[in-house]
Amino acid sequence: MSSITSPVSLGAPTAAETAAPAAFRAIQVLEVMSRSRGPLSLTDIAARAPLAKSSVHNLLTTLEAAGMVRRSGGGWVLAYKALEIGQSVLTSTDLVGEFRRTAAQYGVLGRETVLLAVLDGLDVLYLARHDGHQPVRLASDIGRKLPAVVTALGKAMLAGLPDADLDERLSTITELPRPTRASHRTVSELLGDLMRVRQQGYAVDAEENTIGVTCFSVPIPGAAQPTAISTTLLTQRLTPELRDALVRELTALAHSLRLFART
């Protein structure tokens, strides 16, 4: 499984899709491009959507005229208009604003990188970031997606799902992503980890996504959709005392954000 190469699925056809198929296909193209870290060729986009190349060509031409995409390095990337739209969504969200306001107020946590994210299928989607004061900046770009199974954020949110929902999502996995040797090798290993998350109330990414980096995450209780916060630090800095302080303050921050995550 890969959040970059997997074909985009927007679910079963809806009334909106039937009434405006071109608009729906344009959204598919934008979704594909949002999952890539670099330019994509027309052929790549068509394969990942999946749509006919002729249709993708027409859609890209229209989206380019609208300022949503642009040509780059022999391929296509999202343009700043798409960023403007995404930013307008974030600034209109009370949860993001409250997160940005309060994350810095915690004595230990406020000095670290703190992230806010939601669960999108089997991906983590990053909504906001507090950078802290550490000399080495450790964070993912806002709007970026990563596989949930190799992140503390993702595991915190997966563990909070009802069993039926969790089983349904995991049943779609044909192969677990393994960016490092510490990543889980099997779904059974992953499930064991998720059960520990449920018991202890927080998730750990012990160099499962990036060597030398450890993350802790706590879900926001009662959120309208699975939402969590995390902190990221160099493994060499980690001590039991720092771990306990970070988890304690993450839990307090998550609790303070619960009312803002219900809508």
**Nearest residue to 109 via CA among 212, 253, 237, 260:** 253
Residue 199 has a CB neighbour count (10 Å cut-off) of: 8
Rounded to two decimals, what is the model's pTM?
0.69
Cβ partners under 8 Å of residue 255, min gap 6: 221
pLDDT above 50 (res 28): yes
**Under a CB-based contact definition with an 8 Å cutoff, are residues 45 and 56 in contact?**
yes
| pLDDT exceeds 80 at position 9 | no
| Residue 227 backbone phi and psi in degrees, to 5 | -140, 145
Mean pLDDT of the region 239-256: 97
**In a 10 Å sphere around its CB, with 0-12 CB exposed, 13-18 middle and 19+ buried, how is residue 203 labelled?**
buried
Quote the crossing angle between the two packed helices 152-159 and 187-200, to the nearest 10°: 80
Assess whether pLDDT exceeds 60 at residue 226: yes
**Band (6; pLDDT cuts 50, 70, 90):** very low
**Domains and their CATH numbers in the chain:** 15-85 (1.10.10.10), 93-257 (3.30.450.40)
CA dist 82 → 14, 27, 231 (Å): 24, 11, 28
As a dihedral over the C-alpha atoms of residue 79, residue 210, residue 1, residue 75, rounded to 10 degrees, the angle is 30
Predicted local confidence at residue 16, as pLDDT: 45
* DSSP β-ladder status, 123-130 and 227-234: unpaired
**CA distances in angstroms from 168 to 162, 164, 194, 206, listed in the order given:** 10, 6, 15, 26
Give the model confidence (pLDDT) of 115-133 as tens digits: 999 999 999 999 999 998 8
Mean pLDDT of all residues in the chain? 87
What is the structure's pLDDT at 232? 94
Whole-angstrom distance, CA of residue 194 vs CA of residue 157:
9
Question: Taking Cα atoms as reference points, which of 128, 132, 129, 126 lies closest to residue 104?
Answer: 132
**What pLDDT is stored for residue 88 in this prediction?**
63
Q: Is the pLDDT of residue 7 over 50?
A: no
Query: pLDDT tens, 57-71?
Result: 999 999 999 989 999
Residue 76 per-residue DSSP state: E
The pLDDT of residue 24: 86
Q: Mean of the pLDDT values across residues 98-109?
A: 94
